[in-house]
Amino acid sequence: MSTPRVRFAPSPTGYLHVGGARTALFNWLYARHTGGTHVLRIEDTDRERSTEEHTRVILDGLTWLGIDWDEGPYFQGAYASRHQADAERLLAEGKAYRCFCTREELDAQRAKAEAAGVAFRYDRRCLGLTSQQIDEQLRSKAPSTIRFIMGDGEIAWDDAVHGTISFQGRDLDDFVILRSDKSAIYNLAVVSDDIAMNITHVIRGDDHISNTPKQIALYRALGHEPPVFAHVPMILGSDGKKLSKRHGATAVGDYQDQGILPAAMRNFLALLGWSPGGDREILPQDEMIRLFTLEGIQKKAAVFDTAKLEWMNGQYLSALPADALLQPVERQLAQMGVTATRDLRPIIDSVKARSRTILHVAEQVAVRLDPARSKLDPKGEALIRKMGAAFNSHLNLAAAALELIGPAEWDADHLLAGLKSVAESQGLKLGDVMQPVRVALTGSTVSEPVNELLAVVGREHSLRRLEQFARRRVEV
């Protein structure tokens, strides 16, 4: 048996949607699992809506996710003459016919069917045209499309995720395969290209199930065996409706901007509608490839849960060394207008466990680079209010003790010892002196242990900020 050839075939009419990204991921995983070939084909036959900008964004999105391809990108637009030839061949073989019905006529038929409460099905009026009538129309330059003759019989296939799916040909109508401008309609273009590119497995969204019987009929009419079809379920928004702009971020680029790591996104997307069986959640790429099967794909649509994505991102964030996080954090800082004045890695190490996104990491890094950037949050304010005068006196106590710790001793151990002894000597609990320091440096009651925070911020910045903060509180 030859190795599988799969393709991801997005149309460049919008950004890379998470649903599309997952379809791409499944194709890629299947190719890598089986040692097959992953082909990328851009379906740009809708000239009205396709743009180069969209193509670029889609390619960038795939690359960001770590999905590569072995062939392509091919552009469907380049194969227009083959599509046309296929349509004309079907016409010549009597498997298709010219249709001179205008859009208005068709709309009227459709409206009539709807009013009568019946399913619209093209009434084949042009199938009955004599060759003289056809010649006459052609001579008068009347625009025409080519329609495919759908047989009445059953069309069934063994879907790799759904099992047997069957349609009755009589429920389908004679659909157009070639427009009056001689460009191919989607169903023909896809089949023509998939045949030409020797695609063996078509892995695509569930929403294509109703196209599949038409495409199978085309394969047969063109004299080819259909490939294996695997229809993967849709991705839904939190309200159970098809994921759309209404639900917030739907483009892969949005998640990149929000500070999601590609590995986390890939892991999350893989588990949305696919399961390796058992209880695995965090799956490294090689494991994913090793375990991936079409049988493991879920039949049911899945709701996109941002909270779980962020949890997973947090898992990757904590597990990754600061080195690996350096680049994305720097990029994020640049966007925030913050310049890194020193090695960021110790700071990243200090904050990453408490973060769920790169954005969150960058914000905390910025504050540790210069505590003057911190903003008082509601919890910080509440603590100041609650402690009253004690806040400042404890802060001053801590500042005085920290002042005694020289630059050479300014590390987490010495700082902890220093803070402990000042607390003890005043009969205070450690938290009584640490919390004011934390709020002064970060504006919040949440951070890494205060001694580590002081160490990472550095002596100079820390002491200056403590002094500033105490003064500011008095003035307010």
Partner RNA sequence: GGCGCUAUCGUCUAGGGGACUAGGACGGGGCCCUCUCAAGGCCCAAACACGGGUUCGAAUCCCGUUAGCGCUACCA
Q: Which of 112, 241, 245, 379 is catalytic?
A: 245
Q: CB-based burial of residue 300 (10 Å sphere; 0-12 exposed, 13-18 middle, 19+ buried)?
A: exposed
Is 375 noted as a catalytic residue in this protein? no
Taking the least distance from each CB to RNA, the nearer of 80 and 324 is 80
CB of 277 to RNA, least distance (A): 4
CB of 445 to RNA, least distance (A): 4
Q: CB-based burial of residue 78 (10 Å sphere; 0-12 exposed, 13-18 middle, 19+ buried)?
A: exposed
Taking the least distance from each CB to RNA, the nearer of 253 and 276 is 276
CB of 468 to RNA, least distance (A): 21
Taking the least distance from each CB to RNA, the nearer of 275 and 396 is 275
Taking the least distance from each CB to RNA, the nearer of 118 and 476 is 118
Looking at the DSSP bridge assignments, the partners of residue 157 are 165
CB of 475 to RNA, least distance (A): 26
CB of 189 to RNA, least distance (A): 7
Amino acid 136 reads: E
CB of 446 to RNA, least distance (A): 4
Taking the least distance from each CB to RNA, the nearer of 169 and 340 is 169
Taking the least distance from each CB to RNA, the nearer of 78 and 334 is 78
Residues annotated as part of the active site: 245
